[in-house]
Amino acid sequence: MITIAQTTAPDDSSSFIDKFTGTFRQMFENLIDGIPDIFLGIVILVIGFIIASILKKVIVKILEGIKFNEMLDKAGIGQVFTKVGVKEGVSALLGKIIFWVVMLFIIKNAADKMGVGDISNIVNSLISFLPKVIMATVIMLVGFMIADMIRNAVYSALDNLGLEYAKALSGIIFGFVFVIVLTVALSQLEIDTELLKDSVKIILLSLGLGLAICLGLGLKRLANQIVSGVYARDIFKVGTIIEYEGEEAKVAGVGPVTTKLMRLDGGFIIVPNDQLISKEVRGKSAE
């Protein structure tokens, strides 16, 4: 007698349900197991935030107590921060910086406790990058101070010569110095600055070539007038009586290019500066 065995095929639907419920069961168990770490991470964040806030206030109070802002203003450094947009004062700025530095370490520790490795790695990269950012910031601030000092010195020198374009030229010089400082600061952040360097070189060469052509061709006489004005300003003070083309006149003012003479009848004469220097002029000093 032959017996035929019957085999039962596995129920695919029940196997799928078991996998589905098993997945959610595992997720729920992991969540339950991770609750203490999540709670501990939240506690670290809250306590760390409180500590960072208190530390920020204490530092600001100490700096205000020693009148740190006033000290920087007297040294001429406070004006630099004001020009770059720091309106609350350096004390408040330092307090915020210290607050966020402390918070970065707190966030990293909290992420480690929670087991969130991605956040911890990102914060760790930011912490490693902080020294470069601080160095670049210091370079920018010092460079801004130097560029501003050069601008003021150039403006004062040109303004004393009576040049009307003193402010524009000093501003251009400030811009070039600051671009050089910016290039050095960006290099500290490991940012490629070759394009910026090449652009500065091209602009400098173009301006130098254009200035040489202008002075050599179209502005030759103007340059001569400006140089003559420097000498004329020292020789012919305001109020000096001189004889020009057989007529006495009083010097009313010496400009960069021309000199204004007031005639005895109330009229005036505009004389190119080079004529006062190259020709024989008679007169008497101002009373």
Asked, for residue 178, whether it belongs to a domain, the answer is yes
Asked, for residue 48, whether it belongs to a domain, the answer is yes
d(CA 240, CA 252): 8
Instruction: Write down the residue that tokens 């912490």 correspond to.
Output: 127
Asked, for residue 270, whether it belongs to a domain, the answer is yes
pLDDT at residue 2 in the model: 46
Residue 40: which pLDDT band, with cuts at 50, 70 and 90? Answer: confident
Query: What is the CATH classification number for the domain harbouring 213?
Result: 1.10.287
The mean pLDDT of 123-150, rounded to a whole number, is 81
d(CA 265, CA 109): 89
Among 62, 81, 115, the domain boundary falls at 115
Asked, for residue 71, whether it belongs to a domain, the answer is yes
Alpha-carbon distances, residue 233 vs 158, 227, 228, 274 (angstroms): 14, 10, 9, 12
**Mean pLDDT, rounded, of the chain:** 75
On whether both 103 and 191 belong to a single domain, the answer is no
Provide the percentage of residues in the chain whose pLDDT is more than 70.
71
On whether both 162 and 214 belong to a single domain, the answer is yes
Closest to 28 measured CA to CA, from 20, 41, 114:
20
The mean pLDDT of 84-104, rounded to a whole number, is 81
pLDDT at residue 132 in the model: 83
The mean pLDDT of 99-114, rounded to a whole number, is 85
Asked, for residue 34, whether it belongs to a domain, the answer is yes
pLDDT at residue 286 in the model: 58
On whether both 35 and 64 belong to a single domain, the answer is yes
Q: Total domain count for the chain?
A: 3
Asked, for residue 11, whether it belongs to a domain, the answer is no
On whether both 227 and 214 belong to a single domain, the answer is no
Residue 4: which pLDDT band, with cuts at 50, 70 and 90? Answer: very low
Which of helix, strand or coil describes residue 65? helix
pLDDT at residue 50 in the model: 92
Asked, for residue 183, whether it belongs to a domain, the answer is yes
Which residue did the predictor score with more confidence, 148 or 205? 148
On whether both 207 and 229 belong to a single domain, the answer is no
Contact 108, 130 (CB under 8 A): no
The mean pLDDT of 155-171, rounded to a whole number, is 75
On whether both 38 and 103 belong to a single domain, the answer is yes
On whether both 172 and 198 belong to a single domain, the answer is yes
pLDDT at residue 205 in the model: 72
The mean pLDDT of 261-281, rounded to a whole number, is 79
Cβ partners under 8 Å of residue 76, min gap 6:
145
On whether both 226 and 153 belong to a single domain, the answer is no
Asked, for residue 235, whether it belongs to a domain, the answer is yes
On whether both 170 and 134 belong to a single domain, the answer is yes
Query: What is the CATH classification number for the domain harbouring 240?
Result: 2.30.30.60
Most confident of 41-55, 142-156, 200-214, 250-264: 41-55
Among 218, 249, 273, the domain boundary falls at 218
The mean pLDDT of 48-75, rounded to a whole number, is 84
On whether both 106 and 134 belong to a single domain, the answer is no
The mean pLDDT of 76-84, rounded to a whole number, is 68
The mean pLDDT of 83-92, rounded to a whole number, is 74
Q: Which residues form the domain of 71?
A: 16-115
pLDDT at residue 212 in the model: 65
On whether both 134 and 170 belong to a single domain, the answer is yes
What the block records as the tokens of 117 is 């490795």
Condensed to tens digits (0 to 9), the pLDDT of residues 16-29 reads: 566 656 665 666 66
Among 51, 80, 115, the domain boundary falls at 115
Cβ partners under 8 Å of residue 258, min gap 6:
225, 270, 271, 272, 273
Q: Is the pLDDT of residue 138 over 70?
A: yes
On whether both 230 and 213 belong to a single domain, the answer is no
Going by the DSSP 8-state scheme, the letter that residue 174 receives in this structure is H
d(CA 193, CA 266): 62
